[in-house]
Amino acid sequence: MNGKLKVAFSCYAIAALLLLAFALVYLTRSEFMPYHSDAVGLEWAEVDPAFQTLVLGLMRVCGGGWLATVLAMFFLLLKPFREGARWSCWALPVIGLAATLPALYATLYIAHYTSANPPWIAAVIGILLLIAGRIFSLRPCSLKK
């Protein structure tokens, strides 16, 4: 791998690690996030048990989807990307953006319509890393099929 591909690799890996952190949090928490509490104006103990189950289930879906995204990204980074497969230079940002753009939309939606302060900046950082990775892999990945 040349220098630009190493930078692209690092951008993609950092984006994946950031997403992994959120995946693990959402998969392992036993109650909703502090910003969820701010959004609904209730502490976890005040939320009806049926809604607690629903919220935790939705958090697990998000966490599982993000974990699947991370696994796909790491698989692509470790084999096809390192071997210079051109298609992996497109697949990595597409897969990453498919997970981070909806997360950004959801956090901005919550921030706009509630008094909560969700971690939208993390999604922006992930998106910027994915875009940077694509930019750094433009020329090098266009050389191989």
Per-residue DSSP letters for 46-73? GS-HHHHHHHHHHHHHHHHHHHHHHHHH
pLDDT at 134: 95
Residue 144, pLDDT above cutoff 70? no
Confidence class for position 84, pLDDT limits 50, 70, 90: confident
Exposure string of 32-62, with b = 16+ CB inside 10 Å and e = fewer, is bbebbbebeeeebeebeeeeeeebeeebeeb
Average of pLDDT values for 37-52? 96
CA 127 from centroid of its chain's CA atoms: 8
Residue 14, pLDDT above cutoff 60? yes
